[in-house]
Amino acid sequence: MKKILFLFLLIANVVAGQTTVTVCKDTTEHKTRIIQTVQPYDSTYQVCRTETIPTVKDTIWRGVYVTGLSSASTNATSQQKIIDGLNKYKFNSAHFYSIDGANDAGLTAFFKRIRKETKVTDLAATASSSNTFTGTRLTWNKNHADSADYNTWNLEFEPWRAVANGSTVAIDWTKNVTYLQQMKAVGSANNIKVTDYYGWWSDAPMSTQTPDTLVKYCDYGLIHDYRTGPEFGYMKTRMDQLNASAKKINRVYVVRVIISAEPSFSQTWLKTHTPDDFYKAVCADFAKQKYSNLKMDGYLVFTLDFLQTAQAPANARMASPVTADPDFKNETTLGHRQYLPVLKRLNLLNKQSLKFKKLKPVE
Q: How many CB atoms lie within 10 A of CB 55?
A: 12
Q: What is the pLDDT of residue 44?
A: 46
| DSSP structure string for 79-124 | HHHHHHHHHHTT--EEEE---TT--HHHHHHHHHHHHHHSS--EEE
- For residue 44, report the phi and psi dihedrals to the nearest 5 degrees: -80, -20
Q: What is the pLDDT of residues 338-353, one digit of tens each?
A: 888 754 554 554 454 4
Quick check: 305 and 325 in contact, CB under 8 A? yes
The amino acid sitting at 137 is R
C-alpha–C-alpha distance, residues 271 and 354, integer Å: 30
**Class of CATH domain 61-351:** alpha beta
* Nearest alpha-carbon partner for 150 in 190, 116, 185: 190
Question: Which residues, 6 or more positions from 59, have their beta carbon under 8 angstroms from its beta carbon?
Answer: 297
Question: Which residues, 6 or more positions from 206, have their beta carbon under 8 angstroms from its beta carbon?
Answer: 159, 160, 169, 173, 200
In tens digits, the chain (363 residues) has pLDDT values of 444 444 333 434 444 444 444 444 444 433 344 444 444 444 444 445 555 555 678 999 999 999 999 999 999 999 999 999 999 999 999 999 978 889 999 999 999 999 999 999 999 999 999 999 999 999 999 999 889 999 999 999 999 999 989 999 999 999 999 999 999 999 999 999 999 998 889 999 999 999 999 999 999 999 999 999 999 999 999 999 999 999 999 999 999 999 999 999 999 999 999 999 999 999 999 999 999 999 999 999 999 999 999 998 776 555 456 899 999 999 999 889 888 875 455 455 445 444 433 434 333
Q: What single-letter DSSP state applies at residue 136?
A: I
Question: Which residues, 6 or more positions from 230, have their beta carbon under 8 angstroms from its beta carbon?
Answer: 277, 278, 279, 281, 282
Domain regions of the chain by residue span: 2-54, 61-351
* H/E element, 222: strand 221-224
C-alpha–C-alpha distance, residues 104 and 353, integer Å: 39
Q: Looking at the chain, how many residues does it have?
A: 363
Residue 206 C-beta-side C-alpha neighbours within 13 Å: 20
